[in-house]
Amino acid sequence: MTEEEKKVYMLLKSVIFHYHGLDDLERQDLEDTSKRLDAVNALAWSLDFIAKDYITAFERARTYLNEIIGDYPRQKRVELINMVWDANNLKGYVTEMEATAMLKLAKDWGVENELVVLVTR
């Protein structure tokens, strides 16, 4: 995984987790993921990105991610949405706010139908 991919992965996961307020299980998942992917610096970068302005973090991340992910192959975009959906299910549920955020991103990336399939399986 390239450094850019690590930043994308950690920002996507972080911004969705922060959408409703980061809980302890999500914080631990972010830390574990960053260690597993050798992406500790990418996690620190993503948390700094969010901390710069928590209120606008999602929209800023959306703009940033759309600029990069638009060039990714369709399957990679689906994998990223699937990753964040699965990560949110660790706690046993996905909030309406998280689902809405993921739907916005999936629509931006042209993989909305794939997310709907993930949700209904």
In a structure prediction context, what are the per-residue pLDDT tens digits for the chain, which is 121 residues long? 889 989 999 999 999 888 878 888 889 999 999 999 999 999 999 999 999 999 999 999 999 999 999 889 999 999 988 888 888 887 788 888 888 899 999 999 999 999 888 888 7
Tally of domains in the chain: 1
Neighbours of 27 (CB within 10 A): 13
**The model's pTM:** 0.88
pLDDT attached to residue 55? 92
CB-count exposure of residue 111 (10 Å: 0-12, 13-18, 19+) = buried
Which helix (H) or strand (E) element contains residue 115?
helix 112-120
The domain containing residue 12 runs over which residues?
A: 3-120
pLDDT attached to residue 63? 96
